[in-house]
Amino acid sequence: MNIETFKYDNKIVRAFAIATIVWGIVGMSVGLLAATQLFWPAANLDLQFTTFGRIRPLHTNAVIFAFVGNGMFAGIYYSLQRLCKARLFSDSLSWINFWGWNLIIVAAAVTLPLGLTTSKEYAELEWPIDIAIAAVWVVFCVNLFGTIFQRRERHLYVAIWFYIATAVTVAMLHIFNSLAIPAGWFKSYSIYAGVQDALVQWWYGHNAVAFFLTTPYLGLMYYYLPKAANRPVFSYRLSIVHFWGLIFIYIWAGPHHLLYTALPDWAQSLGMVFSVMLVAPSWGGMLNGLLTLRGAWDKVRQDPMLKFMVAAVTAYGMATLEGPTLAIKSVNSLSHYTDWTIGHVHTGALGWNGFLTFSVLYWLIPRLYRTNLYSVKLANYHFWIGLLGMMFYVIPMYVNGVTQGLMWKQFTAEGFMQYPNFLETVLRLVPMYVMRAIGGSLFIAGVILMAYNLYKTAKAGQFLAEEEAQAAPLTAAEDKKPQKLHRLLEARPVTFTALAFVAVVIGGLVEIVPLYLIKENVPTIASVKPYTPLELLGRDIYIREGCVGCHSQMVRPFRSETERYGEYSKAGEYIYDHPFLWGSKRTGPDLHRVGGKYPDAWHYNHMDSPSSVSPGSIMPRYPWLLTQKLDTAPLASRIAALRKTGVPYPAGFEQTAQADLQKQAAKIVANLKTGMVEAPPDREIIALIAYLQRLGTDIKTEAQPAPAKTN
C-alpha cells in the first residue's frame, strides 16, 4: 500500500482557541454589565452606548457567535483533520474563515452599542454584516466539504455528520431570516411583517439554538469525550440514530416560542408536539455520552477535562428535558416572558456550551503545545467555581420566573388582580438579580483562571504548528463515490456553477418572496393603518434603543393579561410591523396597548427619569432622547424601503412626509405644554412619544362604533 505523509494544521486551531478565550471573557463581562443594570440601573454609566437595551444583544452575539462560534471552529478544525486523515482543504480559506469571522464580531461590537440593529433576536446585525456572515459561512462550508472530499478515511465518523448538518442548516436559516430591504447603509426593514416575521424569526431563532449551539457541540462531544476517556462511545449505533432523529425533528419546533400569541393555533400545536418529541433524540445523545464513561468514572475524578465534559453533558440533558416541558402550552403560559426562560437558556449556555468549550480547550492546548497542563489543581478550582457560578445564576432565575409568573396571574377572592401594579412584581425579583450577578461573576472568575492556566501551559510547552501524520489514500476500488465527488470538486466549472446557482437562488428569493408575501398584507382589520412619518421614526428609535429586550408587544388571551393591559393582540394589527416587535421577555410591562394610556407629558418625564415617575423602577434613564435632535433626513429612503416591503404608502408620500411630521410634532409639543413640559419639537423624544401613543390604538377606533364586532 502506498502510504502518504501529510501535515495537520495546528496553527488555525490555536488561533480559534485564543479567540474563543478572549471573546468568552469579553462576552460574559458584557453580560455581567447587563445583569448588574437590572438591580442597579446607574451601572449603564449614563451612556446610551452601555445601556441594557443596546448591550444585551451585544452580550448574546458575543457569547453565541464569538465565544461558541470560535470554540466550534477550533474544535471542528482540529478533529476534522484527524477524523479525515487529511489536512484542511485550503489554508487560505481557513484564514479567511478566521479573520472574516472575527472581523464580523468586531463589527458587531461597534454597531450594536451604536444602536444599529434589526432588533431580531440573535440576528440583530445589519445587512452589510449579514452579507459578510453569509460569505464567511460559505468559506467554512467549502473548507469543510473540501476536507471531507480529500479524506483518507472512507468512513465518516458521527462527529462529521453533525458538522455537516451544522454547516448546511445554518446557511439556510441565516439567509431566510435576514432577507430585508435596505434603507441606507446600516438600516433595513425585514421583508416579513408582523406574524410572518415572528414565525420566520423563531424558526431561525430556535434552529440557531439547534444547529449553532447544539449540533456542532454534539459533534465535539462525540470526538473529545471518547478521546479523553480513551474508550469508544457507548453505542455507535445509538449515535447514528441520535443524529438522524435530532436533525429531522429539530427544524419543526420553532413555533413553541410563540405559544398563545397571534400565531394560528395549528402552527402552535405543531411546534409543541415536535418540541416534546425532541426529548427522545436529545436524551439518547446525553445517555450515550454519559454511558461512554461506564467503568471509567475514576478518570473523571482525576481529569478536570472530563469533569467539565460530564457536567456539560448533564446540563445538556437537563436543558433538553426542560425545553420540551416549557414548550407545553400550559407550562408556557406561566413561564413565557419571565426569567424562567433566561434560566433555561443559561443551563444550556453556561453548562452545555461553556463547560464543553472549557473541556475541549483543556484538552487541546496541552496537546498543541506538547506538554502537560500547567496546573490540574487550578483547573479543578475552575470547575467548582464555574459550577457554583452556574447554580447561583440558574436557581435565582427559576425562583424569579415562577414568582413573577404566579404574581401576574394572581387574582383576589373578589376577582381583582392581586398585583395590579407591574412594578410590584419586578421589585420582588431584585434580590435574585443580585444573586444572579454574583453567579455570573463567579463564572467569569473561573474563565479567567482557565485563561491563566492555559497561558502558563503554552509558555511551558513548545507549539507544534505542523503535525506530521501518515495514511494510505482512498483507492477507487475501496470506494467509488468520494473519488467521483473529489473529481467533481476539482473540476472548477462545476464548482463555479454550483456557487452561481446558490447566488441565483438567493437573488431569486429576495425578489420573489416579498412579492409573494405582500398579497398577505391586505388588512383584515380595516382600521389598521401604516405608521405616520413621525411614528415611523419613533419606532426606529424604539428599535435602536433595544426596548424590545424588556418590553413585549403581545397581549396574550388570558384574563390576567386583558385585565392588566387591555384587549388581547390580534394578528391583523401587525401587518405593517417590519420587523415585528413582540419581544420575548417582560422585564417591564407589555406595551401593545400603551397608546393613549398615559398623557404625553407622562412619557416625557418617564423617559427622562423612570424612577421619579415610578419609584423603584429599574428602567434606565434616557436623557439623551430629550436632547438629541431627530434626524429626519433618512425619512424618504425609509418610506421607500417600507413601500418595497409592501406597506401601502401612496406615491409621492415622501414629499408631504416632512410637513406631516412637523404637524404631528407640533401637536405633541402642545400636549406636553398642557402637562407643564416645555420641549422643542425637533427632539427624538417627540417621535418616540408619537409611536408609543399610537401603539395598539388602531382597533380602538373600530371598537367604538361597533363594539360587538371585534369578538
Partner 1 sequence: MSVILILVLASLSLAGLFLAAFVWAVRSGQFDDTQTPSLRVLTEDGPSSLPLAGKPGPETITKHEHRNI
Q: Dihedral of the CA atoms 444, 447, 448, 449 (nearest 10)?
A: 120
98, 157, 162, 337: residue in contact with partner 1 (rule CB under 8 A): 157
Site string for partner 1, 107-146 (x = CB under 8 A): ----------------------------------------
Closest CA to 531 of 402, 695, 679, 419: 695
CB of 230 vs partner 1, minimal distance in Å: 5
The reply to whether 230 sits near partner 1 by the rule CB under 8 A is yes
The reply to whether 366 sits near partner 1 by the rule CB under 8 A is yes
CB of 474 vs partner 1, minimal distance in Å: 12
The reply to whether 531 sits near partner 1 by the rule CB under 8 A is no
391, 489, 520, 596: residue in contact with partner 1 (rule CB under 8 A): 520
CB of 658 vs partner 1, minimal distance in Å: 34
Phi, psi of 411, deg, nearest 5: -110, 150
CB of 10 vs partner 1, minimal distance in Å: 8
Peptide bond into 482 cis (omega under 30): no
CA angle 48, 611, 46 (to 5 degrees): 20
Exposed, middle or buried, 671 (CB in 10 Å: 0-12/13-18/19+)? middle
Strand intervals (E) in 74-140: none
Strand intervals (E) in 422-473: 466-471
The reply to whether 513 sits near partner 1 by the rule CB under 8 A is yes
CA distance 435 to 394: 10
Amino acid sitting at position 399: V
Please identify, using beta-carbon distances, which residue of 438 and 571 lies nearer to partner 1: 571
The reply to whether 227 sits near partner 1 by the rule CB under 8 A is yes
Count the neighbouring beta carbons within 10 Å of the beta carbon of residue 376.
15
CB of 302 vs partner 1, minimal distance in Å: 6
Exposed, middle or buried, 496 (CB in 10 Å: 0-12/13-18/19+)? exposed
The reply to whether 321 sits near partner 1 by the rule CB under 8 A is no
**Residues between 249 and 278 that touch partner 1 (CB under 8 A):** 251-252, 264, 267
The reply to whether 576 sits near partner 1 by the rule CB under 8 A is no
Q: 171 with 182: CB under 8 angstroms?
A: no
Closest CA to 247 of 281, 220, 203: 281
CB of 152 vs partner 1, minimal distance in Å: 11
Q: What is the sign, positive or negative, of the torsion defined by CA atoms of 156, 160, 161, 167?
A: negative
CA distance 211 to 232: 25
Place of cell 448588574: 36
Q: How many residues bind partner 1 (CB under 8 A)?
A: 65
CB of 150 vs partner 1, minimal distance in Å: 16
Please identify, using beta-carbon distances, which residue of 139 and 225 lies nearer to partner 1: 225
CA atoms within 13 A on the CB side of 308: 29
**Residues between 452 and 481 that touch partner 1 (CB under 8 A):** 464, 467-469, 479, 481
Query: What's the chain's Rg over C-alpha atoms?
Result: 27
63, 88, 158, 180: residue in contact with partner 1 (rule CB under 8 A): 158
CB of 481 vs partner 1, minimal distance in Å: 5
Please identify, using beta-carbon distances, which residue of 272 and 695 lies nearer to partner 1: 272
Interface residues toward partner 1, by CB under 8 A: 8, 10, 82-83, 85, 153, 155-158, 161, 164-165, 168-169, 172, 176, 192, 195-196, 199-200, 203, 223, 226-227, 230-233, 235-237, 239-240, 244, 247-248, 251-252, 264, 267, 299, 302-303, 305, 366-368, 370-373, 376, 464, 467-469, 479, 481, 513, 516-517, 519-520
